[in-house]
Every structure is written in C-alpha cells, then in structure tokens.
Amino acid sequence: MNRISQLATLMWTVTITTLTVHSTAQTLDRSTRLLLESAAPLREVQNEDPPNVLFIIVDDLNTALGSYIGSGERPQYATAHTPNLDMLAAQGIRFENAFVQNPLCNPSRASLLSGLRPDTIDVHTTGTWPRHKVGDELRMLPEHFNENGYFTGRVGKVGHNSFEHAVSWDDSKFALSRDPAQPFHSPGYLPGDDASEIRDNTWTEGSENGMSRRDIFAGSATGRTLSLPLTWRATSETPPMTPDGTTATRIIQLMAENRDKPFFIAAGLHKPHQPWVGPAEFFDQHPIDNIVLPQTLASDTKNSPAPSTWVTEDDSAHTVLQKKQAIAAYHAMVTMVDHHVGRILKGLDDLELADSTIVVFTSDHGFQLDEHGGLWRKQFQFDESIRVPLIVRLPDGRSAGKVSKGIVELVDLYPTLIELASLPDPAHNLEGLSFVPLLKEPQTPWKSAAFSQSRRMVGSGSTNNPLINEEGYDGQTIRTARYRYTEWAPLDRRRDTLVELYDLEQDPMEYTNLSDEPSHSRLLSEFSERLARGWEGERPPHSDH
C-alpha cells in the first residue's frame, strides 16, 4: 500500500472512530455521560473473582407482578403492569414458592439479614430492637460480606426504618422525604392534592394543605396508632423526585463510585407500602373500571380462628368504588416500583456491571387486597401475606427465564448469597438452606415445607403489643406444596390452641378451613408433629447443609 493509500485509510479509520464515539455519546443522556465520566475505574472480573451483589428489597409486595399472573387464581392481581421486573424474570430465575418467616416488616427483615428465624432472634413486632437477643457481635448478611473484602452500601429501607443502625454499612443513606417537615422519608405523609378517580376517607378540614402521619392519626376515629388507614394520593410529582426515586438515583451513584471493587449494595424501596402516594402517571395505568374485587365464598372465614382473620371498622367502611380505587392505587405503586427497578437495572448496564453482578429482587412480605371477607395489609398467614416474589439473576445468565417451584424461604438468602460469592460461613449457625442447587437446576427436588409465624391479637389489628394483651396468639405455620397448616397458640396458655388447615390443590384461595373435618384428623396430627419438629425436618434429600 502506497503512502497516499495509507494516509487515506488512516483518515477513514479516524473518521469512523470519531463518528462511532459521537454516535455512542448521542445515545447516552447527559446525566449518564456525567455518571460515567466520574465513575471509578471498572474492575476486571474473571470467573474466579468475587461477584458483586445488587440486593433490591421492596415493602408490602405480594405476587401481583406480570410474570406471576399465571401462578394463582387472583383476579384482583390481573391488572399488574411490571415490564421491567418481567424482563428481569426472563433474564433470571423466578421462584414460584418463596415464603417469608413473618409477614411484618421488622421481624421479616431481621430474619433474612441475620439468617435466623423469628423465634431464635425473638423479634416478632415492629418495635423490637433486632439485636436485643443475638447481641452486637453477630454478623448480619452485609456485615459478613464486608468482613470478607466487600464494599457495602444501602439506600432506603433495608432493615426497619428506625432500626437501620442495627446493621453496619460502609455507606448508609435514607430516602429523601416529600414531607416538607422531614428531611428523610418515613411512611405517612399525604400531599394535599389528589388526582385519583375516587378519594379515600382521610379528607378532613386542612387536609388540602398536606397531612403528616401524626395529622392522619389525630384526625382519625379508627383508634390506630401504627398502621395507617387505607390512603392514597395521585400527585403531580415526577418519578425521580419521589422518595423511592431518590433511592434509585443514589443506588446508581453508589455503584458508579465503587466499580473498582466487589460490592454488596442494597436498594430498599418503600413502596407499595402505605400510603399509596405517587405520580398520577402511574395511577393512570390502572383505571378502577379494570379492577375486579376478590371473591368471598360462603365458606370463607366461616370457621376461621379469631386471630387468623379480623376486619377493622375503618376498612369495612369503604365503598365498592373506594375498594377498587385502593387496589388500583396499590397496583400503581407496584408499577412505580417497577419503574425505579428499571432505572437501577439500566444504571447497572450503563456502568458495565451487569456481567459481574448477582441481582436479587424480593419483598419483606405480601399484602392483603380485600380477600377473606375484607382483609387488608399483612400479619395474616394466608398466602397473600406470606408468599412473595423472588427473582435471582446470575452474572453468567445461567438458567435464564426458568421457573423453580421448589419451596424457598427468605431466611435462605444469607447462605445462598455467601455460597454464590464463595465466602466462608459466618461464626453463627444459619437457620436457612442455600438454594444454589435450584439456581443451577431449577427443577431439583427441594425441601418439603416453609415456616412462617405471626403474633396477633383478637380485635386489635396490629396496633398494640400482643405480648401484653390477654387475647394475644402466636400463629405458627407449616406451608407445603399442597397444604397450609397453622396453629394459633394463646400467649397466656390458658385457652385452647386454634387450628387452620387448607388443601391448596383443591382450594388455592384458602376458602375452606378443614380442621374440623374428622376425615382429616390423621393429616392434622401429622402436620402438628411436623410443625413441632421444625425446619430441620423438612430439608431436601441428601442435603449436606
């Protein structure tokens, strides 16, 4: 090639390179370019190197996701719209039967973070310090990663709001608040504007100026002191300015700042926790005309034990249209969560971290949407409360799009993640079981039951301390692929233990309690024995864990 040809080739190469760089830059928005320009250098990750972990946990989410719609007979879930989470499920492994150890925020999160069950850590209520029994030396999940060379960071609700300092992180941040009087987010603020189709029952004089959590309770005749009445607002906010929007942005920044090292970063999204407040654009995707209320059969709650189902007066006071709007508002919040998860996953891609990062998505418990005679919220032992979505995406794309029907529990996350990262076991004995075999082969025969529990009172909802209430019950559940068996033992030990048994193969919605039928006496005895034996008796065959 002569000199002129060489020069022409060089000029052509420079031109094409320049156009390619310019074209690539054009595809990135300004904020992404700034993010990449200020990001830490990208760590080169080989197969044997430790993977990153992106742990996304949301609040009060049942299985009302697009990828779960075909897995149950719940028409009230039918309008779920979650394209980003559905894509994550297509790229990862979706777990059909994932269960929490307690359908209440604090005990559920304390359990999964410690790798121990609620009875072991003695955390059953919202107001219990997570370490009151296990002490300060026990290494929670992110702390164990940190002690093995990982950067750890959290934004938003990962522990319980007021107990986030029970876990140590390298970087720990709260979501920003929409309440003008609060710098950081805590659930409860209601803006004075609402573009929803139907208003809730919290509107009083002065509510047009916005209502704090204290205002809501002060103006409420419900007698509630902890759980909010059903509340929603469709606002004029933009998605990034919501509390969860600030969490998503900060999570992306944390990942950018720590690309040069292995990290365990946790995003705690507050929604769809009450109150259901968010941009009207998400409400618009869920018109109330599309909402179908759940069925209530004559057999439903007919012989249910008192602590297993209790409808509050303020919940039952809602009209049919308000109930439909409440369910629509819940779905709007789920769609908003999906939007923010999409932003986080795009940030992971933009930062070139997807191929080196394990992504986990789950919820601390489910949520009742007017099932079983008008139940809302959680703390029950029905599947709507104890069953949650769980999606795991592996860096190598293994088993992408597959579904595992194996029974798993959130207490299993601790041993699973440390095995995936090839970390040593912690000093304390974990009470979960690594489900890495299910990630490798989702149809592997697995453990035969999950365990969940609730401390409840008759006639008091979740507002008082059941430990000092003479009507308190401790509900203990064993959930198999076919049955759910629950014993409600009185805390004062002076009354009879109450029992529930549901055949989920014949009765997937748990309408008919079979505990009084003589034909099931042998089955009841078997489940009582298995419940007493506990989780170690339900391990899969040949388990060496």
Q: Would you call the peptide bond into 275 cis, given omega within 30 degrees of 0 as the criterion?
A: yes
User: Is residue 505 situated within a structural domain?
Assistant: no
Query: Do the beta carbons of residue 256 and residue 40 sit within 8 Å?
Result: yes
| Sequential DSSP letters for 409-423 | EGGGHHHHHHHHTTP
Top mean-pLDDT range of 3-7, 176-180, 182-186, 438-442: 438-442
User: Is residue 504 situated within a structural domain?
Assistant: no
User: Is residue 387 situated within a structural domain?
Assistant: yes
Q: What is the pLDDT confidence band of residue 299, given thresholds at 50, 70 and 90?
A: confident
Chain length of the chain: 545
Structural domain that includes position 180: 54-296+312-440
How far is the C-alpha of 426 from the C-alpha of 430, rounded, in Å? Answer: 8
| Sequential DSSP letters for 357-391 | EEEEEEES---EEEETTTEEES-S-SHHHHEEEEE
Helix or strand (DSSP H, E) at 113: helix 105-114
pLDDT at residue 308 greater than cutoff 90: yes
User: Is residue 455 situated within a structural domain?
Assistant: no
Beta-strand relationship, 93-99 and 387-393? antiparallel
With the C-alpha atoms ordered 366, 370, 375, 377, is the resulting torsion angle positive or negative? positive
User: Is residue 463 situated within a structural domain?
Assistant: no
Q: What is the mean pLDDT of the chain?
A: 90
Helix, strand, or coil (residue 189): coil
Q: What is the pLDDT confidence band of residue 217, given thresholds at 50, 70 and 90?
A: confident
pLDDT at residue 528 greater than cutoff 90: yes
User: Is residue 522 situated within a structural domain?
Assistant: no
Range of lowest pLDDT (112-126, 205-219, 414-428) = 205-219
- Integer Rg of the chain from CA: 24
pLDDT at residue 8 greater than cutoff 60: no
DSSP 3-state percent helix, strand, coil across the chain (nearest 5): 35, 20, 45
Name beta bridge partners: 94. Answer: 391, 403
pTM score of the predicted model: 0.92
Give the chain's domain count: 1
| Sequential DSSP letters for 501-516 | EEETTT-TT-----TT
Task: Provide the pLDDT for residue 14.
Answer: 33
User: Is residue 476 situated within a structural domain?
Assistant: no
Task: Provide the pLDDT for residue 492.
Answer: 86
| Sequential DSSP letters for 6-69 | HHHHHHHHHHHHHHHHHHHHHHS-HHHHHHHHHSPPPPP--TTSPPEEEEEEESS--S-SGGGG
pLDDT at residue 479 greater than cutoff 70: yes
351: domain CATH number is: 3.40.720.10
At 384-395, the pLDDT tens digits run 999 999 999 999
Task: Provide the pLDDT for residue 24.
Answer: 39
